[in-house]
Structure 1
Amino acid sequence: MTKDSSNLTQGSRRESLNPISNEKRMFGLSTYIMMWISSMVVIQIFMVGQSFLPPVGSLNLFQAGVVTFVSALFLWVIFVLNSKPGLTYGIPFIVQARSAFGYNGARIASLIRVLPAVFWYGIGSWIGASATNFITDSIWGYSNIWLYFILFQVLQTIIAYSGMNSIKWFDSILSFVVLGFLIYIVIQLIKFGGLNMENSWENNDGSWGMPFFAAITASVGVLITAAINNGDLSRYLENKPKNNRIGHFFGIVPMFLIMMFIGILSAAATGIWDPIQAIVSVIPNPVVAVAMMIFIIVAQFTTNLTINIKPPALVIMEMFNLKWGTAVILVGILSIATFPWILVSSSAFNTFIAFYSAFLGPLLGILLTDYYIVHKQNYRVEELYQRDVKYNWLGIGSMFIGGIIGICFLSIAWMVSMPLSALLYWAGMKFIPAYRVQSTPAAVDKA
C-alpha cells in the first residue's frame, strides 16, 4: 500500500483513500479552524433553532438556550472522539468503518451516512437560489429561482471538482467574512425584536419534558452526519497534541451557538419560518439586505463543499472506483432528485432529521465502541485495506436493530438508538466466540 498517494484531485480514484502520513497533511490548526468556521454556516441549524419557539415549537427562550448549549457541547465531544482515527492514522471514514462492518459492509454504513448529505446538498442549494432570486427581484425585477438553483449546482460542482485544495482555500478565505455577517445579524435581531423576545421569555412556560429532549435530538441530528465522517477531514489535519480538541472546539462550537441563536432569536423577533424572509425582515435598508443575501449564497457554497458534497463523492468513488470529478458530478445530479423545494418548506422538516438520525446514532455509537473499547484505539491499518472480512454482520445487525427501535421513539431517535446499538455491538464482540478474538488490542500502526 502506497501511503502518500492520497492527494485528492479531479482524477483521484480509490488510491486517494490510502493513509495520509503526517508530513503530507495540508491543514494546520489555524486553517482547519477557519475551514470549519465557514463550513458551519448551516442554514438548517438556523431552521432548527426557529422550530423551538411557538408557533412551531413549545419551548421558551431560556429552554431553547439550554438546548443550544447542551447540544453544542455534545457535538464537540463526538466530533473529537470520532475524528481521532482519521487524525491518528490518516484514514477516511469509509476505511474506519471497515473495522466494525467489514470491507463491503462499510459501504452499507457509508450509504446511511451519505444519503442525508445528498438531501442537505439540495436543500442548501435551494436556499442559496432563493437568496439569489431575492437579489435579482429587488434590483432588476427579474425572478427565476429554477435557473439559480441549477447555476448553484453547476458552480459548486466546478469548485469541488478540483479536489481538496480548492475546498480548503475557498472555505478558509471566506471564514472572516462569514463571521462578521453573522455577528451583524445577531445585533439586528436583538435590536428589531427586543420587545417580542422579552414577552417570549416571560410569558411562555415552555416544557422541560419530551419537547425539550426532542429539541436536543434535532439540534444534534442536524450535524451528527458531519461528526460521523469527519475522519474525511481530520486525516488532513496535522497530528499534533491538542489539535483535535482545540480545532473542533473553536471551529464548531462558537459557530453552532451563533447559528442556533440566530434561528431562536428570529423566531422570537419575527415569527417567520422561512429563513430568507426572517433575515430580510430585520435588515434596515435594501442595500444591506442584498449584501446579506450575498452572504447567504456564499454560506451555502462553503457548507455544501465541506459537509454535503465531499462525503457522498468519496463513497461513490470508493464503491465504483470512479474518478473524484465524476463522483462530484453524480452527487450534484442526485441532490436535484431529492426535491429540496418541497422538503425545505415542509412541516415535517424536524421529523426528517429525527428519522435519519435514528440510524446515524447507531452508526456513530458502533464506530466509537469499536475504536475505543474493542480495539483500545489501536488499529492494524493494513488489515482495513484487505478484503478478508467482507461483512461484519454483528456490526450491521446492531446498527439496524438500534435504528428500527429508534424509529419507534422518533422524536428522540438517536438518544435511544445510539447507546442501544453500542451496547449490542460491545456485548457481541465480548461474548460471541466468533467475534471475541477481534477484540484483542492490535499493534499500533500510525501514519
Structure 2
Amino acid sequence: MAESTELTQHSKRDSLAPVDEGGRIFSLKSYIPFWISSMVVIQLFIIGQSFMPPSGKLNILQALTVTLVSSIIIGFMFVINSHPGIKYGIPFVVQCRSAFGYYGARIAVLVRVLPAVFWYGIGSWIGADAMNYVSTTVLGWGNVWLYFIIFQILQTAIAYYGIKSIKWFDSALSFVILAFLVYIVIQIFSTGKVHLISSWEASGSWGMPFWTAITASVGILITGAINNGDLARYLRKEPVQNWVGHFVGIVPMFIIMVAIGILSAAATGIWDPIRALVTLVPNTAVAVALMIFIVAAQFTSNLSLNIAPPALVLMEIFNIKWGLSVIVVGILGIITFPWLLLTSSAFNTFITFYSAFLGPLLGILIADFYLVRKRHFDLDRLYNSPVKFHILGFASLIVGGICGVIFLPISWIVGLPVSMVIYSIGYRIIPYYKRELAAHRVDEKAAVFE
C-alpha cells in the first residue's frame, strides 16, 4: 500500500488509494516547516497593504484584528477539512465523491483546480517580475521573460519527482524564508518611518470594510483548505498532528506575512510589495538575498498550493503519470498568459465571481463529512461508487455560489453556511437521500476521531 500511494514521477491513478500508516511520510518535524515555507504568499503582502489608507478604510487596530481573526478562521478550516484525509488517507478528489458522485467529483474539483492553474502562472510571473525589478534596480540588468521561463522549468522539475521532492524542498527552504522575514521586519523598523499612532487613532470602520477585509484575507487561502487532503493524507494519523501541524505551521506565518504588508506600506508609503521591499535593501549583497527570498517564496507556495491540486486531478481523470501531469500543468500555467491577465480588469472581476463558489464547496465538504456522514466514510463506496452524479451536492454548490455572487464583498461568509444548510437539510427531507444515507449508516461510535 505504501509504495503504491507515494507520489513519484511514475505514479498513476492507483496511487490515489488510501495511504496506510507506513506511507505517512510527514511528521510534525517536517510538516510544520513545510507549511512555514508554503505560507510565504506574495498576495498576503498585498492584502496587508490594502487594509489602511489610501487603499483601505481601516485603522491599525482594525487591521490587526482582521489579521488575527482571519488567521484563526484559516487555521480551523485547514484542521476541519484535513480530518478526512488524515483519518482515511484519501485525496481531495476522492473525498469529493461522497458529496458529488464518482464522476461528479471531477466536475466539482474544477472549482478548486482551475484557479490553481491561473494562480500558478500568475505567481510565477509575479516572481519573475520581482526578480527583474530587483536585478535591474540593483544590478543594472534583467530579463523578465528569461526569469519566467526559468521559474516554470525549475518548479516543474522539483514537482516532477513527486511528494517527497516537494516535501524536502519546502521544508528545507523554511529556514531561509524565516531568516529573511526576520531581517525584513528589522529593516522596516530601522527606517524610523513607521508611524502607527496616527493610524491607531484614526476612526476607521468596523462595518462592511472590516468584514470585506476578513473575506479577502481568508479567501486567499481557502483554496488550500479545500484540497489539503492531498497533503494531509501523508501526515501521521494522530489528532495532535492535525491541530498542531496546521495551527503552528499556518497561523503564525499568516499573521507575520499580513503584518509585514501593513508595516512595509506604513514605512515606505509604497503600495507594491516588491518595490516596497527593494527600498529597504541597503546593498548588493542583500539584494541577492532578496532575490533568493523571492524565488523561495514563489516556489514553495506554488508547489504546495498551485501545482499539486491540478496535477492530481489530471492524473485521476486521464490515468496519466504524475510526472506528465506536472509538465502539463506547467504548460497550462504559461498559456494562461499571466502577463496579460495581471493587466486585465476583466480578469479581476472573473476571479472575484469565481471565488464566490469556493466557500460553498468547502461548506458542502464539511457538511457531508461531519453532519451527514458523522465522520465516517465507506471507503469501498468512495472507490467503487454506484452514484455517478450527486444532484444535491451540485444544487447546494450552485445556490451557495449564487448567494456568494449576490453578496460579493462577503462572498464566502454568506455562501459557505448557505450550502451547508441546504446540503444537510436535503439529506433529512428528500426521500431518496434519506434512503441512501440509511443504507450506509453505521454506528456513530465508529466516527470518533482516531
Aligned counterparts of 1:258 and 1:81: Cα–Cα separation in 2: 23
- Determine the structure 1 residue equivalent to 2:48: 49
**2:223 aligned partner:** 225
Alignment of 1:34-433 (within 5 A): 34-138=33-137, 140-192=139-191, 194-202=193-201, 204-344=202-342, 354-433=352-431
Moved more, 281-290 or 316-325: 281-290
Q: Are the aligned partners of 2:134 and 2:278 in contact in 1 as well (CA < 8 Å)?
A: no
Look up the SS of the partner of 1:68 in the other structure. helix
Cα distance in 2 for residues equivalent to 1:157 and 1:195:
40
Gap change, CA 1:190 and 1:344, over 3 Å in 2: farther
Q: Deviations over 1:24-64 (max 9, x none)?
A: 21001110111111111111111111111122211111111
Structure 2 Cα separation of the partners of residues 176 and 122 of structure 1: 25
Report if aligned partners of 1:131, 1:297 keep a CA contact under 8 Å in 2.
no
Relative to structure 1, is the Cα distance of residues 266 and 341 closer, same or farther in structure 2, using a 3 angstrom cutoff? farther
- The corresponding residue for 1:24 is 23
Aligned length: 445
| 1:190 Cα deviation from its structure 2 partner | 2.8
- Aligned AA (1:367): L
**What amino acid sits opposite 1:388 in the alignment?**
P
Query: Could you tell me how far apart the structure 2 residues matched to 1:293 and 1:334 are?
Result: 25
Residue aligned with 2:5, SS? coil
CA distance in 2, matches of 1:156, 1:273: 28
Deviation at 1:342, TM superposition (A): 4.2
Q: Secondary structure at the match of 1:65?
A: helix
Q: Which amino acid aligns with 2:396?
A: S
Determine if contact 1:4/1:19 at 8 Å carries over to the other structure: no
TM-score by length of 2: 0.94
Task: Report Cα offsets for 1:266-297 as digits up to 9, x if no partner.
Answer: 22222322211011112233321331122111
2-side partners of 1:177 and 1:195: how far apart? 25
Residue matched to 2:14: 15
Aligned residue type for 1:12: S
**Whole-angstrom distance in 2 between the partners of 1:134 and 1:195:** 24
C-alpha distance in 1 between matches for 2:348 and 2:359: 16
Per the TM alignment, residue 177 of structure 1 is displaced from its structure 2 partner at its CA by 1.3
**1:252-275 C-alpha deviation (Å, 9 max, x unpaired):** 001000001011112222232221
Greater shift in the superposed pair: 377-386 or 432-441: 432-441
**Hey, what's the Cα distance between the residues in 1 that align with 2:240 and 2:51?**
34
Give distance in 2, aligned partners of 1:136 and 1:49.
25
Tell whether the 8 Å contact from 1:37 to 1:255 is kept in structure 2 after alignment.
yes
Paired with 1:355 and 1:191, the residues of 2 have a C-alpha distance of 41
1:429 and 1:436 in contact (8 A); partners too: yes
In structure 2, the residue corresponding to 1:97 is in which secondary structure? helix
Decide which moves more: 267-276 or 108-117: 267-276
Q: 1:24/1:368 Cα in 2 relative to 1: closer, same or farther (>3 Å)? A: same
Indicate conservation of the 8 Å contact 2:44/2:261, yes or no: yes
> RMSD between aligned alpha carbons?
2.0
Q: State the one-letter code of the partner of 2:106.
A: R
Segment drifting more, 89-98 vs 137-146: 137-146
Alpha-carbon distance change, 442 to 96 in structure 1, aligned in 2, over 3 angstroms: farther
Q: Distance in 2 between matches of 1:167 and 1:356?
A: 28
| Letter of the 1:209 counterpart | G
1:224–1:252 CA distance, 2 compared to 1 (3 A): same
More displaced stretch, 2-11 vs 55-64: 2-11
Tell me, in whole angstroms, the C-alpha distance in 1 between the residues paired with 2:412 and 2:364: 12
- Unaligned stretches of 5+ residues in structure 2: none
CA shift, 1:142, in A, is 2.2
Look up the equivalent residue of 1:220 and give its one-letter code.
Answer: V
Moved more, 123-132 or 12-21: 123-132
* Residues 196-238 of structure 1: CA deviation (Å, up to 9, x unaligned): 4333233x32111111101000000000000000000110001
Gap change, CA 1:16 and 1:81, over 3 Å in 2: same
Structure 1 gap ranges (5+): none
Q: Which amino acid aligns with 1:314?
A: L
CA distance in 2, matches of 1:14, 1:56: 46
State whether residues 392 and 423 of structure 2, in contact with CA within 8 Å, keep that contact through their aligned partners in structure 1: yes
Q: CA deviation at 1:348?
A: 7.9
Residue identity over aligned pairs, in percent, reads 60
Q: Is residue 351–residue 411 contact of structure 1 (8 Å, CA) maintained in 2?
A: no
Cα pair 2:8 2:163 within 8 Å, conserved: yes
Cα deviation, 1:161-208, whole Å, max 9, x if unaligned, reads 111110010011111111111122122223325444333233x32111
Using a 3 Å threshold, how does the CA distance of structure 1 residues 399 and 213 change in structure 2: closer, same or farther? same
Q: Distance in 1 between matches of 2:265 and 2:426?
A: 46
Q: Output the CA distance in 2 between the equivalents of 1:358 and 1:424.
A: 16
- In the alignment, the residues of structure 1 paired with residue 68 and residue 372 of structure 2 have an alpha-carbon distance, to the nearest angstrom, of 31
Cα deviation for residue 3 of structure 1 reads: 7.1
